[in-house]
């Protein structure tokens, strides 16, 4: 048989395998689609008129932070809410407050209660649940000094703030939202830096929060400079969702600070292709073109992205804006967020699909965090056995971790049943 004939037949087979994805992705909202841009501009104009501002002020990140939406009266200008939904939001605000930047709010489809950005930022009746834990990672028990979280032999976290531009409904630290925004006291940060100086095995420090980029340029540089002056600290990482919720935070001055103390690794948090906008792309390019290494950490969220085609499109589009997919986290057992939880099978199926259907650059590592701060466990590599509804993992220290695998529930049915 002619070799070219065999090759062409195989090529046709491969092309046919991609056809379903090509057709499906037409229906996945992507932040640079014309219809998304048009809706964004429409909502943006409404808010700009309401606040009586111009384009320059709109793109001022300090204005965006100062005018984060936290009142239903303002939200209603751009999102359609029923009286019942309004009441639910008001009641749930007493448990866990909500807040969203004007920029990010304008990406929400006004008429879609299942819009992925709306689900991840605006409270729903599904949060009215006591299922889960306030601190499943036991962060309070891994704090040896200052505002440090330490779980590994040679790296640690400095938590510098409880502030975020927008508060994610699935956040593992939602217990820290509080009623007010607070950066960590400088004394605690200095104590953290002193601890790192004394412990020479620490080579890698992650600055996070909250969102590390809510700090002023001056304070952020103070922390980075002091860490860079410690000889044994080789890697400095920044944890932020600002590229998603507040891309205007990536200013020339901030980029110049990062350049002074390179290498800086910045991990951001895109969960859905709709979050990848022209503004987000501009911010990513500005960072990457000035030497900042970018990675993305997604969380697998029921009703938002637990779909192989959505995850594929997300990761493929991230690469086009110079962000490497890094981790896909299994959602944690956090109080009030159980509706976002998925089964392990969901994540495994997605990872199995990605392998071969897209390039290795697009494939993150699927991770479950061991309860009580016992570290990240890659799936399926850490799975040792499955007994009934329980998965048994082995963590990096060789400890056996027993984890209940709950089935993925029908998100829309859950919502409709409870509402």
Which strand (E) or helix (H) includes residue 49? helix 34-51
pLDDT for res 96: 79
What are the tens digits of pLDDT across the range 268-304? 999 999 999 999 999 999 999 999 999 999 999 999 9
**For 332, which DSSP code?**
P
Query: Would you say 298 and 326 are in contact if contact means Cβ atoms under 8 Å apart?
Result: no
What are the tens digits of pLDDT across the range 135-168? 766 777 899 999 999 999 999 999 999 899 999 9
- Sign of the alpha-carbon dihedral angle for 240, 243, 249, 251: positive
Q: Is the pLDDT of residue 177 over 90?
A: no
Q: Is the pLDDT of residue 178 over 60?
A: no
Query: Would you say 220 and 211 are in contact if contact means Cβ atoms under 8 Å apart?
Result: no
Query: Would you say 232 and 89 are in contact if contact means Cβ atoms under 8 Å apart?
Result: no
SS3 (DSSP) at 106: coil
Q: The domain 139-380 belongs to what CATH superfamily? A: Aldolase class I (3.20.20.70)
Q: Please give the average per-residue pLDDT across 368-374, as a whole number.
A: 91
Residue predicted with more confidence, 298 or 16: 298
Q: What percent of the chain has pLDDT over 70?
A: 97
Domain boundaries, the chain: 31-127, 139-380
The tokens describing 111, both together, are 């008429």
Whole-angstrom distance, CA of residue 122 vs CA of residue 120: 6
What are the tens digits of pLDDT across the range 60-105? 999 999 999 999 999 999 999 999 999 999 988 877 789 999 999 9
CB 23: neighbour CB atoms within 10 A? 10
Please name the residues in contact with 72: beta carbons below 8 A apart, sequence gap of 6 or more.
81, 86, 89, 90
Whole-angstrom distance, CA of residue 357 vs CA of residue 380: 19
* Bridge partners for 300 per DSSP: 330
Query: Would you say 394 and 387 are in contact if contact means Cβ atoms under 8 Å apart?
Result: no
Q: Between vectors from CA 297 to CA 293 and to CA 302, what angle results, nearest 5°?
A: 160
Residue predicted with more confidence, 253 or 5: 253
What's the length of the chain? 419
Whole-angstrom distance, CA of residue 299 vs CA of residue 366: 9
Q: Please give the average per-residue pLDDT across 235-251, as a whole number.
A: 98
Whole-angstrom distance, CA of residue 243 vs CA of residue 283: 6
């Amino acid at each position: 048989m002619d070799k070219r004939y065999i090759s062409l037949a195989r090529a046709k087979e491969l092309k046919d395998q991609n056809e379903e994805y090509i057709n499906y992705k037409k229906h996945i909202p992507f932040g640079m689609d014309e219809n998304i841009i048009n809706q964004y501009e429409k909502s943006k104009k409404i808010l700009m008129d309401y606040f009586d501002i111009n384009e320059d002020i709109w793109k001022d990140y300090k204005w965006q932070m100062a005018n984060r939406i936290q009142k239903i009266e303002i939200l209603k200008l751009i999102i359609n809410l029923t009286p019942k939904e309004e009441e639910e939001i008001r009641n749930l605000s007493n448990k866990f407050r909500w807040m969203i930047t004007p920029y990010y709010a304008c990406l929400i489809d006004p008429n879609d209660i299942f819009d992925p950005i709306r689900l991840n930022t605006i409270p729903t009746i599904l949060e009215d649940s006591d299922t889960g834990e306030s601190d499943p990672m036991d962060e309070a028990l891994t704090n040896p000094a200052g505002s440090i979280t330490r779980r590994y032999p040679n790296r640690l976290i400095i938590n510098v703030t409880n502030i975020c531009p927008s508060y994610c409904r699935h956040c593992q630290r939602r217990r820290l939202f509080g009623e007010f925004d607070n950066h960590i006291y400088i004394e605690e940060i200095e104590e953290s830096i002193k601890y790192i100086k004394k412990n020479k095995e620490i080579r890698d420090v992650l600055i996070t929060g909250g969102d590390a980029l809510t700090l002023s340029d001056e304070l952020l540089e103070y922390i980075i400079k002091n860490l860079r002056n410690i000889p044994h600290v080789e890697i400095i990482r920044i944890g932020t969702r600002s590229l998603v919720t507040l891309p205007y935070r990536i200013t020339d001055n901030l980029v110049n600070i990062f350049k002074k103390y390179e290498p800086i690794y910045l991990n951001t948090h895109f969960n859905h292709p709709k979050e990848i906008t022209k503004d987000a792309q501009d911010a990513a390019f500005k960072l990457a073109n000035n030497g900042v290494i970018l990675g993305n950490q997604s969380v697998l969220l029921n009703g938002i992205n637990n779909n192989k085609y959505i995850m594929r499109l997300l990761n493929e589009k991230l690469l086009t804006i110079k962000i490497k997919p890094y981790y896909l986290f299994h959602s944690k057992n956090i109080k009030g967020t159980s509706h976002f939880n998925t089964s392990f099978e969901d994540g495994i199926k997605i990872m199995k699909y990605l392998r071969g259907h897209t390039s290795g650059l697009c494939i993150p590592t699927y991770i479950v965090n061991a309860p009580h701060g016992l570290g990240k466990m890659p799936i399926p590599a850490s799975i040792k056995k499955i007994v009934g509804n329980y998965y048994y993992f082995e963590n990096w220290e060789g400890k056996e971790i027993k984890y209940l695998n709950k089935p993925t529930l029908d998100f829309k049915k859950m919502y409709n049943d409870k509402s």
